[in-house]
Amino acid sequence: MTRKVLVLAETRDGSLRNVSFEAIAAAKTVAEGGEVVGVLIGENVSALGAELVQFGADRVVVVEDEKLKQYTSDGYAQGLLAVLEKESPEGLVFGHTSLGKDLSPRIAAKLSSGLISDATAVEVAGGNVVFTRPIYSGKAFEKKIVTDGLIFATVRPNNIAPLAKDESRTGEVAALSVEIKDLRAIIKEVVRKASEGVDLSEAKVVISGGRGVKSAEGFEPLKELANVLGGAVGASRGACDADYCDYSLQIGQTGKVVTPDLYIACGISGAIQHLAGMSNSKVIVAINKDPEANIFKVADYGIVGDLFEVVPLLTEEFKKIKVHS
């Protein structure tokens, strides 16, 4: 059956986030030939609608209001629920981002619907739309279907390939006027700590440090390598517990789960707790002094050596490649 599927697009610093294009690709599968409608909520965001169409949306609905400049659950819920009421879709897809995690359960509760969070794949099989999602932080996977009502899912960044951008595609970008009432929680201030780097959950490359990094300063060579590769810096629980870095960088069963193309583990022993957060990365490199370290068991490539020698050498070597390409 064909379905109308809505995709809530997300912006960061005025640009669309990659995960929104991935969500459109997922929505195309859910739609089974039906219409995919992008939804843009914010202030002065309508100009981004064309790009959603180029990535596969058939048309775009825009809700703009000065109260929607920053994401708040109350503001976005009002905007999105108005769109849902008007469009009555059979499917709804968000990115499994901070925003998606915060808003999607509320919308699901409001609509008395199911919600499949953090999907890493979607397919149509045996007459069902089947989502794959990691459980136990990636130590296992489950396949899940919606049995009643709206097919609603959030998709994990970096897992579902976006469709190729087609600049010749055109579609309607129409505004929907919604009166945004009072917000019960107001953002007073945003302290940007992650701004210097790339967002961990969406990064294609993650350079991660463990106890072997030995101090906060010890993260400097890792940051340099991350800069050269356009990646983000992460950490093991050990490094966070030892106060070498902020908990916001922690990767593991508690902490963030990442699936970049390239994960470089520096001075990380590879406890189960850490592996749960990164073992589904596409390519894993381990750098550790201890040849017996558990991390080598999940690594595709390993170097036994002192990270403070290896990482700067790697940085220099990658610089050469970047210059050539």
CA distances from 149 to 33, 80, 95, 113, 242 (A): 19, 18, 20, 6, 47
Closest-CA residue to 233 (of 241, 223, 243): 223
What angle in degrees, to the nearest 10, is found between the helix axes of 220-229 and 307-324?
20
> Is 237 known to sit in a ligand binding site?
yes
Q: What is the DSSP string of 89-118?
A: -SEEEEESSHHHHHHHHHHHHHTT---EEE
> Is 230 known to sit in a ligand binding site?
no
- Return phi, psi of residue 179, to 5°: -85, 115
By the rule CB under 8 A, 117 interacts with another protein: yes
> Is 59 known to sit in a ligand binding site?
no
CA distances from 156 to 139, 173, 305 (A): 16, 26, 34
3-state secondary structure of 88: coil
By the rule CB under 8 A, 184 interacts with another protein: yes
Question: Looking at 124, 161, 174, 321, which residue binds another protein (CB under 8 A)?
Answer: 321
| Residue ranges in 228-287 that form contacts with another protein under rule CB under 8 A | 229, 246-250, 253-255, 261-262, 271-273, 276, 279-280, 282-286
For 105, residues 6+ apart whose C-beta sits below 8 A from its C-beta are 115, 117
| Residue ranges in 44-63 that form contacts with another protein under rule CB under 8 A | none
Q: Which is nearer to another protein, 20 or 54 (CB)?
A: 20
By the rule CB under 8 A, 82 interacts with another protein: no
How far apart are CB 114 and another protein at their closest, in Å?
3
> Is 267 known to sit in a ligand binding site?
yes
> Is 210 known to sit in a ligand binding site?
no
Question: Looking at 13, 66, 127, 185, which residue binds another protein (CB under 8 A)?
Answer: 185
> Is 288 known to sit in a ligand binding site?
yes
Segment interacting with another protein, rule: CB under 8 A, options 47-55, 86-94, 191-199, 218-226: 191-199
Q: Which is nearer to another protein, 179 or 184 (CB)?
A: 184
Q: Which is nearer to another protein, 167 or 182 (CB)?
A: 182
Strand pairing class (121-125; 128-135): antiparallel
